[in-house]
Structure 1
Amino acid sequence: MAKAKESKKSGFEGSLERLEAIVEEMQGNDLPLEERLKRFEEGVALVRECKKSLEGAAKKVEVLVKSSGGKLESRLFDEVRERLRETGEGEYEADQEEA
């Protein structure tokens, strides 16, 4: 039954779409308790997949920064954020949440 309603999309988008469908199904009163538990388990697994995908994507995000010579360089997001933390230049919301 769950397979029939699964999205044809794959990866993050497919997982997110399926997760949204599970939330809708569970908000209704049509599912017996055992089915709700199955959906909950599936939802937890999908949340973990989505989190893993987002963490992987964050590591791949590149930010263009100016070097001391004025030349644009490509750097990984995590490298730039760490450099900003060390120098105190600029802030990110994520930095504020961690504090």
Structure 2
Amino acid sequence: MAQKKTEDEISKLNFEDAIKQLRTIVDKIEQGQIPLQDSLEQYEQGMALIQHCRQILQKAEKRIEKISKTDEEPSAATPEPADEAPGSDEEALF
């Protein structure tokens, strides 16, 4: 149950806060300041934070793609310039 609570807490974090927590965990593990069992628990929490950050980035990427597609559609549907409109062909004048 404690693991689930941690996952719930992580899922509420924004990207920047998740990265801060991840950096703190990495610093603790690299400095060897915590016992092995705590290191393993911190590692598990770090992996959950990484997964959360990836999900946030994937959502952002999808949003950007959607925005980009929306911006591209009007340019593809722009009307032809007046001098190239149907029926204004030079041959039609002769």
TM-score normalized by structure 2?
A: 0.58
Name which of 28, 42, 48 aligns with 2:31: 28
| Pairing of 1:1-80 with structure 2 (within 5 A) | 10-61=13-64, 62-63=67-68, 64-65=71-72, 66-67=75-76, 69=78
More helix by share: 2
CA RMSD in angstroms comes to: 1.5
Q: Secondary structure at the match of 1:30?
A: coil
The Cα shift of 1:30 comes to 1.5
Moved over 6 A (4+): none
Aligned residues: 61
Cα distance in structure 2, aligned partners of 1:67 and 1:17:
43
Same amino acid, percent of matched pairs? 26
Higher relative contact order (Cα pairs below 8 Å, separated by 6+ residues) = 2
Alpha-carbon deviation of 1:28? 0.4
> Offset at 1:40?
0.2
The answer for unaligned runs of 5 or more in structure 1 is: 1-9, 71-99
1:22 partner letter = I
Between Structure 1 and Structure 2, the one with more strand by share is 1
TM-score by length of 1: 0.56
Q: CA deviation at 1:47?
A: 0.5
